[in-house]
Amino acid sequence: MTELWRLPATELAQLVRTRKVSAREASEAALQRLDAVNPKINAVVAHRPDLVLQQADRIDQMVARGEDPGALAGVPVTVKVNIDQAGFATTNGTRLQKDLIAKTNSPAVDNLVRAGAVLLGRSNAPTFALRWFTGNLVHGHTSNPRNRALTPGGSTGGGAAAVTAGIGHLAVGTDTGGSLRYPAYACGVHGLRPTLGRVPAYNASSPERAIGPQLMSSTGPIGRTVEDLRVALAAMSAPDPRDPWWVPAPLQGPAAALRAAMCLRPGGLPIVKEVEAAVLDAGRRLADAGWQVGEIEDVPSLDEAAGVQERLWLGNGFAELSEAAARDGDPGALAVVSAFRTRAATFGGDLVAGALLQRATVTREWRLFLAEHPVLLLPVSAELPFPDGLDLEGEAGFWRVWKAQLVQRGLPAMGLPSLTVSTNLIGSTPVGVEIVAGHFREDLCLLAGKAIEARGTPVAPIDPVTIPARAGTLSEKTA
């Protein structure tokens, strides 16, 4: 039999549900895999084997009683360190919260447990989830399992690295500026950012989030197959009264024509030839699957949407963030604060009100656009996954990263769903495509993603590479 940690989540759950494999066996395999490879990549930064096995035994007892254990029965899942999991610190990658122990699970985590998932461990993230790189002064640096010279992405970098290396079958993370989609891209797996209001979110351990993050953050899954993401989304989307933004929208929308638009350079974004080739390849894959695919010159303004995202972020507690970053001392967080301090000082007192007004305008433009083009193919980033620590290599490195991530920054401002599908490797460097659809049309993202996936994706899970990282990488010097 294939080693259990290698199986897709849906296949493993079916084996557990039909008593061909026990949840304890699956959890023991996951723990053994964690012990074997996590020291090489530092993806999971906290776990308790005794609790993992207790959860597995509960699933096996349900199966023995003839009860339905859920669609994710016995599937080991990692949870990002900025999401509440009872009994563990919600560190958010900062020393200031290393002792902030959650008393309850977040709604998405509770929903996964009700669906039979086993919580395997806590995945690493950058300090305050601020970077597309993963390292901090609490938990250390996370490496990309495919290529240690590359970022594993951020801020759900630990989750993406874990899934890629076979540590858990799914990872739960958050996305306010690409934090699910970009790590999946960087590690060569798949990541889904659901619509605002699709998956309930709330951290009882922490103060209420400012309005900007509430309007832009989305909790979602990273996985090795599109089908695993579909099942995970269904589980995570169950209602929870703690989130006032949650919407009881159906997971399957009205039938739509198999029609996709493809934009290579949204907002005039200059892309490298490998990224252009990946988007064109995804378009051909859809066409081969019977979709009508047409190339368009541009989309509604992503620059304007990214500006809304920036102002909602900077206009909600930037002074407090600056002070917290100074107290924590993490170089990555300090670099972000330093880069935006001057810009934040120029904004007026009505910053948030103005950003919300502009958000309504750009959201309307995008909704009208997506009514005409139900599915949109975009580059994930202007570049291949970045050299690790690039954002700490002076102003040139920081702004190179920032500009390349236009798609990652712009879409969250409007609360749109989007899916990163990994399609290929260039040597050991992953590449892929981003699929966008209208609000609550994750089903269209997943439908297109499955057609693209069927024509080939990088092998996963893999054994982490042992080649040393790029010499002098600042992230490793300081994390």
Question: For the segment 400-455, what is each residue's pLDDT rounded down to a tens digit?
Answer: 999 999 999 999 999 999 999 999 999 999 999 999 999 999 999 999 999 999 99
Instruction: Single out the residue of 306, 304, 302, 296 nearest to residue 264, CA to CA.
Output: 296
What is the per-residue pLDDT for 351? 86
Residue 316, pLDDT score: 76
Sheet containing strand 292-295, edge to edge, reads 44-46, 118-123, 76-80, 170-175, 218-223, 190-193, 418-426, 429-437, 375-378, 259-262, 292-295
CATH superfamily of 4-478: Amidase signature (AS) domain (3.90.1300.10)
Q: What is the pTM of this model?
A: 0.96
**Is residue 150 classed as helix, strand or coil in its secondary structure?**
strand
What is the torsional sign of CA 270, 276, 279, 280?
Answer: positive
Measure the CA–CA gap between 479 and 286, rounded to whole angstroms. Answer: 41
| Positions marked active-site | 80, 155, 179
Burial group, residue 439, by CB count within 10 angstroms (0-12, 13-18, 19+): buried
Per-residue pLDDT, 467? 59
Report CA torsion sign: 190, 118, 38, 131. positive
DSSP 3-state of 403: helix
Rounded Cα distance, 65 and 59, in Å:
10
Residue whose C-alpha is closest to residue 263's, from 235, 233, 296, 286: 296
- The 10s digit of each residue's pLDDT in 300-354 is 999 999 999 999 987 778 889 999 999 999 999 999 999 999 888 777 668 889 9
Length, in residues, of the chain: 479
What is the per-residue pLDDT for 468? Answer: 55
User: What pLDDT does 348 receive?
Assistant: 67
- From the list 33, 69, 74, the residue with the least C-alpha distance to 53 is 74
What φ, ψ does residue 315 adopt, rounded to 5°? -85, 0
Q: What are phi and psi of 374, to 5 degrees?
A: -60, -30
Q: How many CB atoms lie within 10 A of CB 463?
A: 11
Calpha distance 308→64 (Å, rounded): 52
Which SS3 state, helix, strand or coil, does residue 301 take? coil
- pLDDT, averaged in runs of 10, over the chain (479 residues): 95 98 98 98 98 98 98 99 98 98 98 98 98 98 98 98 98 98 99 98 96 96 99 98 98 96 98 98 98 98 96 85 97 95 78 93 98 98 98 97 98 98 98 98 98 98 77 32
Distances (CA, A) of 101 to 85, 130, 149: 8, 21, 34
SS3 110: helix
- Two tokens, residue 197: 């209001």
Supply 6's token pair: 């290698």
Report the distance separating Cα 154 and Cα 464, nearest Å. 18
Smallest CA-to-CA distance from 419 within 368, 388, 460, 457 is with 457
Question: With the C-alpha atoms ordered 225, 437, 177, 113, is the resulting torsion angle positive or negative?
Answer: negative
